[in-house]
Chains A and B, each alone.
Chain A
Amino acid sequence: MKLWMLIAALAIMSVASLFIGVKDISPLDLFSMTTEQWQVMNISRIPRLVSILIAGVGMSIAGLIMQQLSRNKFVSPTTAGTDDSAKLGILVALLLFPAAATMHKMLIAFAFALAGTYVFMKFMDRLKFKDTIFIPLVGLMFGNVINAATTFFAYKNDMIQSITSWLQGSFSSVMSGRYELLYVSLPLLVVAYLYANKFTIAGMGEEFSVNLGLNHRLVVNIGLVIVALVSVVVILTIGTIPFLGLIIPNIVTLYVGDNLRKSLVHTALLGAAFVLACDILGRVIIYPYEVPIGLTVGVIGSVVFLYLLMRRKAYEA
């Protein structure tokens, strides 16, 4: 796939995305929009498009960095306990500060998720990347431990369903005033781009990096902080989008290779395009209702991922 094709596809879908919705707005109205149409554009459609693009780019890049660092194609940020920490944070926010504004609840959950990811990073530090297959599994286990605590309190207070609905990936509730937290991830992505080569080297291992004069631990930590922050921001504003961080980098690796500086741009664009395509599909498939992105990406993503796995197998076996 050529870069310009990706950009073109992304541009076309972005425009299309702006004109799909319950409120009928056609591209022809563009120069003669009513106030109401403008409002819909400003409050809902444009924020939605922006959040889709940022979430798609962010989660794919986060996945890519994580996989580079762990040199394990099947690691993704969702297996680092971030999810479950965020869930616990949301629960705490709902239980202790029921009257707080959404933004404040978000900040509380943000702190929790960051703390959880940091604790996990500490664990990993102790594990010293000894065996990469452990990391996703440790992450899952860690997440389960936190989840057990969350469930304990949620069960007592009958809040399991509301937590579940909060964390289900969905763009339908994105509106101006409720998605701006996503912008936090933009500077992080710039840092990711600047550090791209270093992540590739760090992924080769500690001894390899030290030999090349790289502060291995620092680079790994920067990578993980980016991963954690981006994931948290996306989870809190959109919800969980399963597999995104896993499949996009894998597809890109297939046709671009493993040099991070090169694959980073492709990954970012493909991630955005994929989420956008899934979102448009989810919006038209049972129009005027919509299927949440968590489900579309979950189903399409797992099918794609399984296909990739099978293909891989055919090469190796």
Chain B
Amino acid sequence: MIEVKGVSKAYGGKPVVDNVSLTIREGCVTSFIGPNGAGKSTLLSIISRLLQKDGGEVLIDGRDVAQWKSTELAKKISILKQSNHVNLRLTVRELVSFGRFPYSQGKLTKEDWSKVDEAIAYMDLSDLQHKFLDQLSGGQNQRAFIAMVIAQNTDYILLDEPLNNLDMKHSVQIMKVLRRLTEELGKTIIIVIHDINFASCYSDYIVALKDGRIVKEGPTETIIDSAVLQHIYDMDIPIELINGNRIGVYFK
């Protein structure tokens, strides 16, 4: 279980995350939504120890992030940020194999390699696995990095705007994979996402942030609601029910 207790972070005196407390439900997809500058990505980075917090604590399975041994934590929780430019000439398979580092410390066993193959198959990358990353399109690249995170085989997977720069087809493809990861493998997934409709269709819980604070959190249908969204985004967003999904019509 991930518990966030009174976490704060400020840049140059300006609070970006302000005394946030939160419990993440296991085996679910949780989305962080909110306007630009709400502190979503910062909070995600703090939970995953990429960023130091100024105050508060983040407990993962009851133990503070700072108390975990980094290698052990890497078997529990993984994070993928949005810009994943790597300056190396790597093939997809080589990249994915890095996901096994926490287990193998660089010396991959047969079992490690079979996990790598599984992850590649899971992301439908088998045909591309010997291609170099710089030969791939943006969507394929993103899938390769997600495959690496899958190979890392952690209980908690954190993704910072995984749909950034992807077209509709690839966005749907990735969201479906995330759903499968929770449903088939019981993973707990947290994503930062801008499109409230993707959040609505694919997540179980939504945490809405604004100005570094949690405005509201709860099951998806309680957040995707005109009154709540009005409060978060300061704009009128009518909600329509389409094929059983709650869709915000905010285009006009």
Tell me if A31 counts as interface (CB < 8 A to partner B). no
A315 to B, closest residue via Cβ: B12
Interface positions, chain A 303-317, Cβ under 8 Å from B, are 314-317
Interface string of A274-317 (1 = CB under 8 A from B): 00000000000000000000000000000000000000001111
Interface SS of chain A: helix, strand, loop or mixed?
helix
Contacts of B11 in A (CB 8 A): 316-317
When distances are taken between beta carbons in the complex, the residues of chain B under 8 Å from A315 are 12
Count of residues in A whose CB is under 8 Å from the partner chain = 4
A317 CA / B52 CA spacing, docked (Å): 11
C-alpha spacing A2/B64, complex, angstroms: 51
Q: Give the nearest-CB partner of B14 in chain A.
A: A315
Chain B residues near A317 (CB-CB < 8 A): 11-12
> In whole angstroms, how far apart are the Cα atoms of A211 and B179 in the complex?
43
Q: What CA separation (Å) do A278 and B11 show in the bound complex?
A: 36
Q: How many A-B residue pairs have CB under 8 A?
A: 6
Q: How far, in Å, is B45 (CB) from chain A's closest CB?
A: 14
Residues of B near A314 (CB, < 8 A) are 12
- Measured CB to CB, the closest approach of chain A to B83, in angstroms, equals 14
A-contact bits for B1-40, CB 8 A (1 contact / 0 none): 0000000000110000000000000000000000000000
Shortest distance between the CB of A131 and any CB in chain B (Å): 11
Q: How far is the CB of A113 from chain B (nearest CB, A)?
A: 35
Q: In the complex, A315→B10 CA distance in Å? A: 10
Which residue on A lies nearest to B13, using beta carbons?
A315
A311 shortest CB reach to chain B, Å: 11
Residues of A within 8 A of B12 (CB): 314-317
Give the nearest-CB partner of B52 in chain A: A317
Bound-complex Cα distance A314 to B11 (A): 9
Shortest beta-carbon distance from A133 to chain B in Å: 13
CA distance A315 to B11 in the complex (A): 7
Contacts of A316 in B (CB 8 A): 11-12
Closest CB in chain A relative to B69 CB, distance in Å? 26
Instruction: Determine the distance from Cα of A316 to Cα of B14 in the docked complex, in whole angstroms.
Output: 11
Query: How far, in angstroms, from A314 to B13 measured CA to CA in the complex?
Result: 10
Taken together as a complex, chains A and B put the C-alpha atoms of A317 and B11 apart, in Å, by 6
How does the 8 Å CB contact mask read for B142-168 relative to A, with 1 for contact and 0 for none? 000000000000000000000000000
Chain B residue nearest in CB terms to A314:
B12
A242→B12 CA distance, assembly (Å): 31
Q: How far is the CB of B36 from chain A (nearest CB, A)?
A: 19
Complex CA gap A315/B13 in Å reads 8
Shortest CB-to-CB span from B12 to chain A, Å, is 4
Taking the closest CB of chain A, its distance from the CB of B9, in whole angstroms, is 11
Cα separation A198 to B104 with both chains bound (whole Å): 56
In the assembled complex, the Cα of A11 lies from the Cα of B114 at a distance in Å of 77
Distance A20 CA – B12 CA, assembled complex (angstroms): 45
Q: How many angstroms from the CA of A27 to the CA of B198 in the assembled complex? A: 79
Give B119-156 as 1s and 0s: 1 = Cβ < 8 Å from A's Cβ atoms.
00000000000000000000000000000000000000
Instruction: Give Cα A205–Cα B170 distance, bound, in whole angstroms.
Output: 31
Which chain A residues in 46-65 approach chain B with CB under 8 Å?
A: none
Contact flags B183-221 to A (C-beta < 8 A → 1, else 0): 000000000000000000000000000000000000000
Interface residues of B (CB under 8 A from A): 11-12
Selected A-B contacts with CB under 8 Å, 6 pairs: A314-B12, A315-B12, A316-B11, A316-B12, A317-B11, A317-B12
6 A-B pairs with the lowest CB-CB distances in the bound complex, closest first: A315-B12, A316-B12, A316-B11, A314-B12, A317-B11, A317-B12
